[in-house]
Amino acid sequence: MSEIKLFSIGEAVEERISSEVVLERELQTLIENNMEKFFGVRFLKSEYAITNGRMDSIGIDENNSPVIFEYKRSQNENVINQGLFYLDWLLDHKADFKLLVIESLGMDAANSIDWSVPCVICVAHDFTKYDVHAVNQMQRNIKLVSYRKYSDDLILFEHLNTPIVKSIPADQSMDETDKKNSVYKSHTEKLATIPQNIKTLYYSICDYIESLGDDIASNQLKYYIAYKKVQNMICIEIYNKQIILYLKLSPESVELEKGFTRDMRSIGHYGTGDLQITIKTAKDFEKAKPLIDRAYNEA
């Protein structure tokens, strides 16, 4: 892939030369210790042993979806196929992952696990254009991230692809306990039954968000859709008479308007984001666009 050039611009302009990590465990330890800052993922376990292998790192993201990290340490290592194998194993052993979440984060987090878009993040010093093409053809939630280390105090992560994946159907993404307890329609189920005017408005909002940049990826979760760069920036729920947006903006930075914007910092809700926007009409959508733009630019 293309090389990123980094320069210091002090008294004299000097190119910073990138390097690979010196030790195999150095990159893994750095990411595990800072996983939430780097990738928006809560770290659960290192070297997670399974029947036929060992996952490098495993965590759970802000949408409560499982995330597997695999690190490519040599040119010959096929980290993509390895990650795909681990992803399939995890989908067949949901109870094991749930137990891990219980041990690390408690029962509330375990009961909130969303299996609709589990993810593999492959991290390496470099990938080829063929790697990116192969992953895009798979239509699985596999993300390729290259890194560059500059001296001892700088590291750069470049996200090479934005996977376009189909979420796992709700009945397949739930375990038996979830199926017995589920009384809510999924996001896709509601989308199929909402009035046409709300559906048209919903697709207009999605199209606008996706037009903001090529660095945006959508995740179709069980009860909402999340738009993200590295972390969520906008989550959307749909109802028969309105569309609800949750933006990662501080409510204190917005002049709140009753019936349109709302501070959600102390109120439980699906998705992430502290600022709620209620959209019922095209006029509401137009009024929301500057806030949507801000959420994208500040993400």
Largest CA distance in the chain: 67
CB 167 within 8 A of CB 217: no
In a 10 Å sphere around its CB, with 0-12 CB exposed, 13-18 middle and 19+ buried, how is residue 174 labelled? buried
Beta-carbon-side half-sphere exposure of residue 225 (alpha carbons within 13 Å): 24
In a 10 Å sphere around its CB, with 0-12 CB exposed, 13-18 middle and 19+ buried, how is residue 111 labelled? middle
**Closest to 58 in 3D by CA, of 77, 75, 80, 39:** 39
Q: What is the pLDDT of residue 148?
A: 86
Dig out the tokens for 261 from the structure.
Answer: 């914007």
Contacts of 172 (CB under 8 A, 6+ apart): 115
CB 113 within 8 A of CB 97: yes
Q: What is the pLDDT of residue 74?
A: 65
**Closest to 160 in 3D by CA, of 112, 208, 122:** 122
Sign of CA dihedral 7, 10, 12, 17: negative
Predicted confidence pLDDT, tens digits, the chain (299 residues) = 556 788 888 888 888 877 766 556 888 999 999 999 999 999 999 999 988 889 999 999 999 999 999 998 766 678 888 899 999 999 999 999 999 999 999 999 999 999 988 999 999 888 888 898 888 888 889 999 998 888 778 889 999 988 776 666 544 544 544 444 444 688 888 999 999 999 999 999 999 999 999 889 888 888 899 999 888 999 999 999 999 999 999 999 999 999 999 999 988 888 899 999 999 999 999 999 999 999 999 98
Dig out the tokens for 251 from the structure.
Answer: 């409510």
Indicate the CATH number of 6-159 among 1.20.58.100, 3.40.50.300, 3.40.1350.10, 3.10.20.340: 3.40.1350.10
**Closest to 123 in 3D by CA, of 192, 56, 186, 169:** 56
Structural domain boundaries in the chain: 6-159, 184-298
Dig out the tokens for 102 from the structure.
Answer: 């219980």
CB 244 within 8 A of CB 277: yes
In a 10 Å sphere around its CB, with 0-12 CB exposed, 13-18 middle and 19+ buried, how is residue 266 labelled? exposed
Range 233-265 burial, b when 16+ CB lie within 10 A, else e: bbbbbbeeeebbbbbbbebeebeeeeeebbebe
Q: What is the pLDDT of residue 222?
A: 85
- Which CATH number describes the domain made up of 184-298? 3.90.1150
**Closest to 136 in 3D by CA, of 80, 209, 63:** 80
Dist CA 250 CA 265 (whole Å) = 9
